[in-house]
């Protein structure tokens, strides 16, 4: 187990390195630069800026410099927010994005699993059809429609929740719902499908034959085993939450990492894009690792 974990953790390094290299070169080769503006600076100012940020050197040389800095724990300075370090910006914005993501994930498990499981338990009942309708709609809903309707109803009409900006924990409610709708539906659909399969297994018939109550069968035997496909999608769902956070943080004006990423891309803030990509990369790879570990915990037959 420990050896496996170590192997996986070491395996993360080349993947990250490849990703960062790719992103670095794509960024530098893209047209447009960080200090392009409507009115051009005088040439000597431009040269001074380029020299200060090493932009006058060749791209591979810049890459080496950046790598050297990164290995000594320095992600550089943002181009866009003068005088602020990339790590500082990430430190202040990461908590918002993490809280959003974790809450949306919890929401999707708390609502998605029971919705799917109960639907499968009472297959083709009225509840099942209702749950399926909800989750089919949820997968098709553009999240800007969800966000828009929530803001219209709860901010503009009822005035219960702040429409944008961070005004304390209540600012999280609408973003988390917006972010969670899709994962809830995905998890509900998957749980239902795998639950239906599990319920026809021999060990469920055995459990029934032993005279166990239906609650025990549902919760102890069926639910745990039907969780495996659900755990599989947690990886893609995390990826989904990352991109979802771009939209949610822009629409609700939350000071998270997604908003910084989009703005940094638009402004060609190279160091900030690289820093944020690195953090996303680490988070996603760790989530994938956790997903793999969760398999063994749920199903002891799977060995790593």
Partner 1 sequence: MRRFSILFLALVTLLAIFAPWVAPYSYETQDIMARLELPSVHHWMGTDTLGRDLFSRLIYGAQMSLAVGVVTALFALVLGTAVGTLAGYKGGKIDSLLMRLVDLFYIFPSLLLAILLTLLLGRGFMGIFLALGMTAWVTQARLVRGQVLQAREMPYVESARALGVPTIQIILRHILPNIWGPIIVSLTVQIPANIMSESFLSFIGLGLQPPLSSWGTLANEGFRAMHSYPHLMIFPSLVLFITMLAFNSLGDILRDRMDPRDQGMG
> Which residues would be at the binding site for partner 1 (CB under 8 A)?
15, 18-19, 23, 26-27, 29-32, 136-137, 139-145, 148-149, 151-152, 156, 235, 239-240, 242-243, 246-247, 250-251, 261-262, 265-266, 277, 280-281, 284-285, 288
Residue the block writes with tokens 């791209």: 59
SS3 for the chain is CHHHHHHHHHHHHHHHHHHHHHHHHHHHHCCCCCCCCCCCCCHHHHHHHHHHCCCCCCHHHHHHHHHHHHHCCCCCECCCCCCCEHHHHHHHHHHHHHHHHHHHHHHHHHHHHHHHHHHHHCCCCHHHHHHHHHHHHHHHCCHHHHHHHHHHHHHHHCCCCCCCCCCCHHHHHHHHHHHHHHHHHHHHHHHHHHHHHHHCCHHHHHHHHCCCCHHHHHHHHHHHHCHHHHHHHHHHHHHHHHHHHHHHHHHCCCCCHHHHHHHHHHHCCHHHHHHHHHHHHHHHHHHHHHHHHHHHHHCCCCCC
Residues 6+ away with beta carbon under 8 Å from 120: 128, 191, 192, 193, 195, 196, 199, 226
Q: Which is nearer to partner 1, 3 or 29 (CB)?
A: 29
Residue 162: CB minimum distance to partner 1, A? 14
Q: Which is nearer to partner 1, 27 or 218 (CB)?
A: 27
Residue 139: CB minimum distance to partner 1, A? 6
Pick from 46, 51, 189, 43: nearest CA to 115: 189
Q: Whats the size of the chain, residue-wise?
A: 304
Residue 145: CB minimum distance to partner 1, A? 4
Residue 167: CB minimum distance to partner 1, A? 17
Q: Which is nearer to partner 1, 115 or 207 (CB)?
A: 115
Q: Which is nearer to partner 1, 121 or 246 (CB)?
A: 246
Q: Which is nearer to partner 1, 174 or 247 (CB)?
A: 247
Residue 45: CB minimum distance to partner 1, A? 25
Q: Which is nearer to partner 1, 225 or 288 (CB)?
A: 288
Residue the block writes with tokens 């820093």: 275
Q: Which is nearer to partner 1, 223 or 251 (CB)?
A: 251
Residue 41: CB minimum distance to partner 1, A? 23
Quickly count: other Cβ atoms within 10 Å of residue 260's Cβ.
Answer: 27
Tokens (6 digits) for 9 = 């953790």
Residue 30: CB minimum distance to partner 1, A? 4
Q: Which is nearer to partner 1, 60 or 142 (CB)?
A: 142
Residue 219: CB minimum distance to partner 1, A? 30
């Amino acid at each position: 187990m420990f050896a496996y974990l170590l192997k996986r953790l070491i395996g993360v390094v080349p993947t990250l390195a490849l990703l960062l290299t790719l992103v670095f070169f794509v960024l530098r080769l893209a047209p447009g630069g960080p200090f392009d503006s409507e009115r051009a600076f005088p040439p000597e100012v431009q040269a001074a800026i380029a020299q200060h940020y090493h932009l006058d050197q060749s791209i591979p040389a810049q890459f080496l410099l950046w790598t050297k800095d990164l290995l000594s724990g320095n992600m550089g300075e943002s181009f866009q927010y003068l005088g602020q370090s990339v790590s500082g910006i990430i430190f202040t914005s990461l908590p918002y994005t993490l809280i959003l993501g974790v809450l949306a994930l919890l929401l999707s498990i708390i609502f998605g699993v029971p919705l799917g499981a109960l639907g499968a338990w009472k297959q083709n009942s009225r509840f099942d059809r209702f749950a399926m309708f909800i989750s089919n709609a949820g997968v098709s809903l553009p999240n800007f429609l969800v966000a828009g309707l929530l803001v219209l109803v709860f901010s503009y009409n009822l005035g219960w929740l702040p429409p944008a900006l961070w005004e304390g924990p209540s600012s999280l409610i609408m973003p988390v719902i917006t972010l969670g709708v899709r994962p809830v539906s995905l998890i509900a659909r998957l749980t239902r499908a795998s639950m239906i399969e599990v319920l026809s297994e021999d060990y469920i018939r055995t459990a029934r034959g032993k005279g166990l109550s239906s609650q025990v069968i549902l919760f102890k035997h069926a639910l745990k085993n039907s969780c495996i496909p659900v755990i599989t999608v947690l990886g893609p769902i995390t990826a989904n939450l990352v991109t979802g956070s771009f939209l949610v943080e822009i629409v609700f004006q939350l000071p998270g990492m997604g908003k910084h990423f989009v703005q940094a891309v638009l402004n060609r803030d190279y160091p900030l894009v690289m820093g944020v990509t690195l953090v996303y990369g680490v988070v996603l790879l760790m989530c994938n690792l956790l997903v793999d570990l969760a398999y063994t915990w749920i199903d002891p037959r799977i060995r790593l």
